[in-house]
Amino acid sequence: MESTPDFLKIGLNLAAGVAVFLYGMSVLSDTLKELQGEKMQEALARFTKNVITGILTGTVVTALMGSSSLVIIMTIALVNARILTFTQSLGVVMGSNIGTTIASQIIAFKLSDYCGAILVVGLVMVLTAKTEYRKQLGTMITCVGLIFFGLEFMDIAVEPLRGYKPFTDMMLHLENPILGVLTGGLFTLVIQASSATVAIAISLASQEMITLAVGISLMMGAEIGTCSDTLLATIGRSREAVRTGVFHLLFNIFSVVLGLLLIKPFTEFVVFISAGAGTARQVANAHFMFNMLGVVIFAGFTPWIAKALQHFMPEQMATEKSTETA
């Protein structure tokens, strides 16, 4: 007779793994912002003269900062301060979607096996640091160790569910891509971190508990769920800054809709380019290819998208003047 897993223990262990992962990501982002925040903002303001350079800048800065939400929130702040124009911000937003996939590629390498060694190196650097820079560098390394420790904890947490029929049946229901997208989106909305949703998908895929198709739909849902914090960052900002947040949402929604329409050929394409790699690596590759293809498809339409958003969301001053004239 099939034994019933201890769901309380699984839930607590999974929550602990997610908490450690998110804490590591948060402190790593904060430390990087403290070390390079001004330089990153300068780069965003300086290298965004057109859509292509904006995409490249957004990709690089997000890869370095480790958080697309942080980069987009920084971009919204720069637009609000009129250091960047709304049009310049579009490339950065699209590039940040590509940059965030670097984390997925690293996670798929299963460096969690070495998380203990990474943690020890980082802590030794922090404890023996004689300069603030060395201490911050040690903090960053410690955070990387925490991220992979959290991933390892997630793996251990979900392992008892392998082969448990009600769970495998539930995962089969997620073969319906719309259900998968909704699940990924809601989970990301709750924990406010798309990287954690994708990390869990990769973790489940590494144990062959979900298929590539389910991993892709969860990942696409995370792309929509992550827009919530950037939309919150637009509250009280200028109309141009609000447009940047709305563009992020619309870009991700249209990308996901296109992904759902083409999910079968896209899945086959990911399997082909992955050249026999395991499901976890395929999910990471799908994350990269999905965001890359979305940028390639929509980059050429940004002038028209910008004009449409400016038309439907006109400047407040213009609206007030027309009201006064009437």
Tell me, what's the pLDDT at 220? 95
- pTM here is 0.85
Q: Residue 100 contacts by C-beta under 8 Å, 6 or more apart in sequence?
A: 62, 67, 68, 194, 195, 291
In total, the chain counts a number of residues equal to 326
Q: Is residue 286 part of a domain?
A: yes
Q: Is residue 318 part of a domain?
A: no
Q: Is residue 299 part of a domain?
A: yes
Tokens of 57: 């800048």
Tell me, what's the pLDDT at 325? 44
Tell me, what's the pLDDT at 316? 61
Q: Is residue 320 part of a domain?
A: no
Tell me, what's the pLDDT at 164? 78
Look at the chain and report how many structural domains it folds into. 1
Provide DSSP, 162-190.
Answer: TT-HHHHHHHHHTTSHHHHHHHHHHHHHH
Count Cβ atoms within 10 A of the Cβ of residue 325 and give its class: 0-12 exposed, 13-18 middle, 19 or more buried.
exposed
Rounded Cα distance between 134 and 167, Å, is 46
Q: Is residue 203 part of a domain?
A: yes
Tell me, what's the pLDDT at 22? 86
Rounded Cα distance between 69 and 57, Å, is 15
Tell me, what's the pLDDT at 317? 46
Q: Is residue 323 part of a domain?
A: no
Residue 187 domain boundaries: 7-312
Q: Is residue 222 part of a domain?
A: yes
> CA 293, 298, 303 angle in degrees (round to 5)?
155
Tell me, what's the pLDDT at 213? 93
Of 91, 79, 9, 7, the C-alpha closest to 52 is 91
Tell me, what's the pLDDT at 122? 92
Tell me, what's the pLDDT at 37? 61
Q: Is residue 35 part of a domain?
A: yes
Tell me, what's the pLDDT at 321? 45
Q: Mean pLDDT for each 10-residue chunk of the chain (326 residues)?
A: 77 89 84 72 77 91 83 88 88 93 85 84 92 89 89 86 79 87 91 85 89 94 90 88 92 94 94 91 95 92 90 66 43
